[in-house]
Structure 1
Amino acid sequence: MIFAVLQNGARPGRYTLTDSEHGHVWGTCPTVDGLFGNPRRGTYELFGWIPERAELPHWLGSRVWLVPADDALDPWLLEDAESARQFPDSLVLTGLDDYQGPPEAYTGPIRVHNGHEWLGSCREFVRIVPDEQAAPPLVLRNLVPSDRLRVALNKGTRRALDLGEAVLEVRDDHGAPLAEHVLWPKISTWHGPDLVDLELVAASFTPVPEHARPLWERWFTGPPAAEGAWAGLDTRHREAWLHLVRERCHRHPDRPPGHAYVLDGRHITDEPGFYLALGEAVNGPGGYFGGCPDALVDCLRGGFGHTSPATLLWRDASTAREHLSRALTSEGRPLDLLAEALDVLAEGGMHVTLA
């Protein structure tokens, strides 16, 4: 992939806009305005709220389930959920609605849990759908345009300014891939004769949440040099760290069968902590080895540094046993995440010893 250099001799830009179909580069730049932001959130007001605890935290969890009292109806998911306001008889939740949303026409009693504990229940709810708003533009600052892009800008027609499917490739300051965002961008405006400020309208783009920005800034300097750099983060930021690990993951040469891994379990106090620790046990600092049970199954099949059979010494397993053994399914039934993970590892040919 071509990686352009700024004309003033500065280091290469972090961002490259590439045509998905043909692979040619539209341009490279050091800064993108609009990459970070606050995604559009849905709002629920729960009436007759009866909490399970005296006071709810502001952030309720990365996956909060709303479970109808009618067992014939499926629960639905609210991601990155927050408690916006709490009144004596109601609670306002905001979060990212899943594609399904609540069962059609249902507004009756629900119980709410975050995958680990019940948060409370209500007699009825109202879903407030946010107004449709135009997606904020992405502005590629000081872009070094390719010849193809200059031709498109010189034409200036609607067809020429529609770039079709494109990928915004994000690299760290050493030029290593960090993340990718698939866009369907249309050029709305541009300024500058040589280095261009290019404004794109990309309706399908979801900005990276603002709370993840400090973690991205850390990763822009390069991947972590030592294991456990994520250990001091709370669950919300561990999720964001895991997202970056997943984004930059690449296939590793598989080690020969019989390899012995050691898992540092001291900081496995939540589900993202498990996958971050496991990824580093297999592939070193910042390493990836799954981010959910299905992804873990794929990694165990090969191509990510592992060949079965292998062994894993899980040190300080009591921490995970304390925090992962009493989870909840989407419907609210008890779930042992530790036992589930051990089953997946065993089926994939990794023999685990808990220490």
Structure 2
Amino acid sequence: MNYLLVQEDEDGVERLCGRCAGVEGLFVEPVPPPREVLTLRGCRPDGLLNDVLAEPNVSLRSLGDVCVEVWDGETPVQWWTLVDAVVVAHHPHPDAPERYDITLGAGVRNEESFFELPAAPRFELFAGSAVAPAGHCHAVDGLFEARADPPLVPLELIGCEPAEPLLKALRRPARAERDWARLLVLNRHGAVMATRTVGLAITQARPSVLGGTLIDITLSDGGDERPSPAARPIWAEWYQGPPAEPNLWAPYDSQGRAAWLDLTTRAWRMPTPRPDRSGGEHHLDGRFVTDVPGLHCAIGEALLGPGRYFGREWNAFKDCLCGGFGVAPPFTLTWHDSEIARRALADVAGDPEGELSYFEDIVRLLEQRGVTVNLR
């Protein structure tokens, strides 16, 4: 059995729901949001957005995903993504000719669960592969609209041995429609390599294609945490066991490296906190640090070894430096071939003020926390 289905009872105790030989539908492309038309009012474009507006045939150019941060005073409070945004039209703003009203076509995805507009909002825009500043505007018409939930994508549990919680759901499927469980993915040694949350709404149960007393079960909602099919080779590699050599993540692109980091998060979910080590010197192999996921893969390996977790983005990395993840400052980090990361991340935004690149911001954070950084 390669998968376990578990659920917490009312007392918070984890109970086995069932075992499964296989799962179909674990790897899926995210369902794209429907296309909408939005208008950036009173926009002062910058970066990629300014470059696109200066070109002929603007409507043929995609901005990629545009991040919209809604600020309340000096604090960002909401994050939206305009998926595959395309400029449809633009013209000078009536009250400020130096600004523009820019109409975009895009899918809309909300990164938070609230929609209330601040009393005096400010809209900051970020775009491009480097998620660099792209300007700001007074308002975004069409952003704060009610939207239907995306369609559910089912999950097939193949060759199941159901335990009592799952048997109960099979006997009374209507009562299980609002229940959730965790799907534990095991590697070939039987250790948990990943977990995903799934709904227990059962739409079909039938004798398994694997025969015997096993059953196949269709869950109507496989959850929204499933990896992309592009992550399949990374999961196949980890299925053989945690990586024992450094830089096995290096051949993958940014999406693959992010999937690699996702699997490292399981390493720190221990029943008791791992004691921290301080002092000494750690060596970071910077030859393959060409993007943000690669930077965090390399730092995790430098501090803890292959396949270990030490943050997957700036905020998580900051938390790890506070302790509880195996290594805590003070220590020395010698970053070999650091110029590769400096150049590759030169246009990747770091601090909110835009004064430092991601590379420079990581180095500053390390030094602020008591790490001696030697850039080689």
**TM-score normalised by L of structure 2:** 0.72
Distance in 2 (alpha carbons) for counterparts of 1:142 and 1:126: 47
Superposed displacement of residue 178, structure 1: 1.6
Q: Cα distance, 1:119 vs. partner?
A: 6.0
> Are 2:351 and 2:361, in contact at CA under 8 Å, matched by a contact in 1?
no
1:350 paired to 2:345 = no
In structure 1, distance between residues paired with 2:240 and 2:21: 14
Following the alignment from structure 2 to structure 1, what is the Cα–Cα distance between the partners of residues 288 and 196? 31
CA offsets, 1:238-294, max 9 Å, x none? Answer: 222222222444458446432211001122222222111100111211221112233
Q: Decide which moves more: 25-34 or 344-353.
A: 344-353
2:230 to 202, 211, 214: 211
Question: Which residue does the alignment assign to 2:96?
Answer: none
Cα separation, 2, equivalents of 1:258 and 1:130:
52
Contact 2:304 2:327 in 1 (8 A): no
How many residues are paired up? 338
Cα distance in 2 for partners of 1:303, 1:74 equals 28
Q: Equivalences for 1:3-42 in 2 at 5 Å?
A: 12-13=1-2, 15-21=3-9, 22-42=13-33
Q: 1:104 to 1:28 in 2, by over 3 A?
A: same
Q: CA deviation at 1:136?
A: 2.4
1:274 aligns with 2:291: no
Equivalent residue, structure 2, for 1:319? 340
Alignment of 1:156-195 (within 5 A): 156=172, 158-159=174-175, 161=176, 164-192=179-207, 194-195=213-214
Q: Does residue 144 in structure 1 map to residue 161 in structure 2?
A: yes
Post-superposition CA distance 1:160-204 (Å, at most 9, x none): x45834211112222222221234422232112711111223385
SS of the equivalent of 1:52 reads helix
What one-letter code is carried by the residue in structure 2 that aligns with 1:258? G
- Distance (Å, rounded) in 2 between the aligned partners of 1:74 and 1:151: 45
Match of 1:241 among 260, 271, 281: 260
Against the structure 1 CA distance between its residues 256 and 244, is the aligned structure 2 distance closer, same or farther, given a 3 Å change threshold? Answer: closer
Contact 1:109 1:125 in 2 (8 A): no
Separation in 2, partners of 1:230, 1:58: 30
Q: Match for 2:110: what amino acid? A: D
2:299 aligned counterpart, secondary structure: helix
Instruction: Say whether residues 1:97 and 2:113 are aligned partners.
Output: no
State the AA in 2 paired with 1:65: C
Structure 1 residue 322: Cα displacement: 1.8
3-state secondary structure, aligned to 2:315: helix
> Any idea what SS the aligned residue of 1:244 has?
helix
- How far did 1:134 drift? 4.2
CA-CA distance at 1:314 after TM superposition: 0.7
Q: Which residue of 2 aligns with 1:113?
A: 127
Instruction: Compare 290-299 and 91-100 and name the one that shifted more.
Output: 91-100
Q: Which amino acid aligns with 2:252?
A: L
Deviation for aligned residue 1:304: 2.0
Take 1:102 and 1:320, find their aligned partners in 2: how far apart are those partners? 39
Note if contact 1:177-1:248 (Cα within 8 Å) is conserved in structure 2. Answer: no
Please list, as runs of the form range in 1=range in 2, the aligned pairs for 1:214-225 lying within 5 A after superposition: 214-225=233-244
Contact 2:184/2:196 (<8 A) preserved: yes
Task: Give the Å deviation of 1:16.
Answer: 0.8
SS in 1 for 2:153: coil
**d(CA) in 2 for partners of 1:66, 1:245:** 29
Q: Which residue in 1 is equivalent to 2:221?
A: 202
Percent identity (aligned): 28
Per mean C-alpha deviation after superposition, the further-off stretch among 321-330 and 294-303 is 321-330
Say if 1:327 and 1:336, in contact at 8 Å, map to a contact too: yes
Task: Kindly state the Cα deviation for residue 85 of structure 1 after the two structures are TM-superposed.
Answer: 6.2
Aligned to 2:342, the other structure's residue is in SS state helix
Higher strand share: 2
Which shows bigger deviation, 40-49 or 182-191? Answer: 40-49
Which digits, 9 at most, give the CA deviation of each residue in 1:290-349, with x for residues without a partner?
122332233223332214321111111112222334433697744332232123223333
**C-alpha distance in structure 2 between counterparts of 1:295 and 1:121, whole Å:** 27
2:32 maps to a residue whose letter is R
- AA aligned opposite 1:336: S
Q: 1:29, 1:98 → 2: CA distance?
A: 33
Asked whether the equivalents of residues 267 and 308 of structure 2 are also in contact (C-alpha less than 8 Å), the reply is no
Query: Which stretches in structure 1 are left out of the alignment for 5+ residues?
Result: 1-11
Alignment check: 8 A CA contact 1:35 1:208 kept: yes
Q: CA RMSD in A?
A: 4.0
TM-score (norm 1): 0.76
- After superposition, what is the alpha-carbon deviation per residue over 1:208-240, rounded to whole angstroms, capped at 9, x for unaligned? 333333332332233333211222332233222
